[in-house]
Amino acid sequence: MPEIAEITESYFADFTRRERRAAWLEPLRERAMERFGELGFPTTRLEDWRFTNVAPLTRTPFKMPSPVADGVTERNLDAARIEEVAALLVFVDGVFEPGFSRLRTLPAGVRAASLRDAWDSPGKSLQGHMARHADTDRNAFVALNTAMFQDGALIEIANGVVLEKPVHVLFVRAPNARGTVTHPRVLVVTGRDAQVKVIESHVGSAGTAYFTNAVTELVAGENSSVEHLKLQEEGDEAFHIGMIHSHQERSSRFVSHSVSLGARLARHDIISVMAGEGAECTLNGLYQAGGNQHVDHHTRLDHAMPHCASREYYRGILDGKSSGVFNGAIIVRKDAQKTDAIQSNKNLLLSEEATINTKPELQILADDVRCTHGATVGQLNADALFYLRARGIGFEAARHLLTRAFANDVLSRVTHIPAREQLEAKLLARLSAGWKPEEVL
């Protein structure tokens, strides 16, 4: 087995081999790589990583995928496509695939492009925001992504432009992705009074160990509205590490939905900075795991300015021997008076061996704030189960119905109906593995 040092070596080797497209980004990349070298992969000795052991991930020298990825066809993508979107950008093994993408004429003031295409005419947003928000200094994975990312999506909405339908960014891994790593990168920038919905999905094949290290930055301009849905549906042996970093200007609204269903190990960091007065931030999350899956959400709501409101609703469904982590930090800075924050994390343990570590983390430095939080861990309600059965609904079906209802509390907040319906269907399929609820429900 290779030593950790050798493995970091292999990332450095790839770093020197990679394509260099944007000269302006090079200094940032150099610094990020250096920082990755200094930080190294996190260990469980770090408070933020106490319950998530990435050792299995650091034991494999994941390599950049070969440029030609086989085995992904239009048909493979069917299950991942979402109806009624304004644009679809497909990335196969990290690289933009125009053939699979749908970039019909977008309204004026809307730009949705692959980063590769954008390098040549970067514009203000790209240079001004790319890698300016997500923290390369403290997070080794963000540093690694920043140093290495080859492609990804740029979504820019000009002042006052409202895009009703979502932009779908789909990252798909080829069936032969074993042993490879991609570093998907997304940047969303909205101008004043603009509105956009972005769906970011990550899908892969079962039975192959690969690594996805994603970073998404979202910058919401004054009084703009951004809804971001991330669906993590990687293959069952995959590692997914993802950072979502949002930065909100005055009176903007940001809604994040993190739906984590796949991967052997998934870690999601969501950092939301309310940097302007009157910003509103909602973080919704649903994680579902079974078998030996591990899923970790670390969220951080940073109330940096007064009169901001945050709402956080996370729910987890854990079965088999799976384990979950929810750590919800709320930071209220000294001047952030009239902060209004509500956090809730509810967990359903469907087996005796499933575990969850849930913890709020409050740092409140202002005095005039309302901040409430609550976490629950429980089984299905026995009275509700009996009530359903007493009406003729079978045991499995009743369990299923209650579990779905539990999840729908989060999924029902997704505003794009076709996406919500697809999520419900996907969850249903996962919950019922091998058993056909449609026959009895």
Partner 1 sequence: MLEIKNLRASVAGKEILRGVDLSVKKGDVHAIMGPNGSGKSTLAQVLAGHDIYKVTGGEVIYEGKGLLAMSPEDRAREGIFLAFQYPVEIPGVSNMYFLKAALNNIRKQQGLTDLDAMDFLALVREKMKLLGIDEALMNRAVNEGFSGGEKKRNEIFQMAVLEPKLAILDETDSGLDIDALRVVADGVNALRSPERAIVVVTHYQRLLNYIVPDFVHVLSAGRIVKSGGKELALELEKKGYGWLEEELQAV
Per CB under 8 A, 99 contacts partner 1 = no
Per CB under 8 A, 35 contacts partner 1 = no
Q: Name 83's Cβ contacts closer than 8 Å, sequence gap at least 6.
A: 418
Least separation in angstroms between residue 21's CB and partner 1 is 48
Least separation in angstroms between residue 209's CB and partner 1 is 36
CB of 80 within 8 A of CB of 25? Answer: no
Least separation in angstroms between residue 381's CB and partner 1 is 8
Instruction: Give the C-alpha separation, 382 to 387, whole Å.
Output: 9
Least separation in angstroms between residue 160's CB and partner 1 is 37
Instruction: Give the C-alpha separation, 160 to 101, whole Å.
Output: 26
Per CB under 8 A, 408 contacts partner 1 = yes
Per CB under 8 A, 441 contacts partner 1 = yes
Per CB under 8 A, 27 contacts partner 1 = no
Instruction: Give the C-alpha separation, 43 to 91, whole Å.
Output: 31
Q: Which of 264, 76, 67, 93 is nearest to 174 (CA)?
A: 93
Instruction: Give the C-alpha separation, 16 to 78, whole Å.
Output: 36
| Residue 384 falls in which region: left (phi positive, over 0), alpha (psi -120 to 50) or beta | alpha
Least separation in angstroms between residue 386's CB and partner 1 is 5
Give burial (CB, 10 Å; 0-12/13-18/19+) of 279.
buried
CB of 316 within 8 A of CB of 286? Answer: yes
Which of 387, 417, 425, 429 is the binder for partner 1 (CB under 8 A)?
Answer: 387
Per CB under 8 A, 53 contacts partner 1 = no
Torsion of CA 116, 118, 124, 126, to 10 degrees: -30
Per CB under 8 A, 386 contacts partner 1 = yes
Which of 389, 413, 418, 430 is the binder for partner 1 (CB under 8 A)?
Answer: 389
Instruction: Give the C-alpha separation, 186 to 43, whole Å.
Output: 27
Q: Which is nearer to partner 1, 68 or 382 (CB)?
A: 382
Q: Which is nearer to partner 1, 172 or 286 (CB)?
A: 286
Per CB under 8 A, 409 contacts partner 1 = yes
Per CB under 8 A, 440 contacts partner 1 = yes
> Helices then strands (H, E): number in the chain?
10, 20
Per CB under 8 A, 394 contacts partner 1 = yes
Per CB under 8 A, 96 contacts partner 1 = no
Paired sense of beta strands 253-260 and 152-157, if any: unpaired
Q: Which is nearer to partner 1, 375 or 402 (CB)?
A: 402
Q: Which is nearer to partner 1, 332 or 431 (CB)?
A: 431
Q: Report CA Rg, the chain.
A: 21
Per CB under 8 A, 436 contacts partner 1 = no
What is the size of the binding site for partner 1 (CB under 8 A)? 25
Paired sense of beta strands 195-203 and 167-172, if any: parallel
Per CB under 8 A, the segment of 112-120, 149-157, 284-292, 382-390 that binds partner 1 is 382-390
Per CB under 8 A, 431 contacts partner 1 = no
Q: Which is nearer to partner 1, 395 or 435 (CB)?
A: 395
Q: Which amino acid is at 154?
A: L
Which of 140, 219, 317, 401 is the binder for partner 1 (CB under 8 A)?
Answer: 401
For residue 302, what are the β-bridge partners? 273, 331
Which residues in this chain contact partner 1 in the complex, by CB under 8 A? 381-384, 386-395, 397-398, 401-402, 404-406, 408-409, 440-441
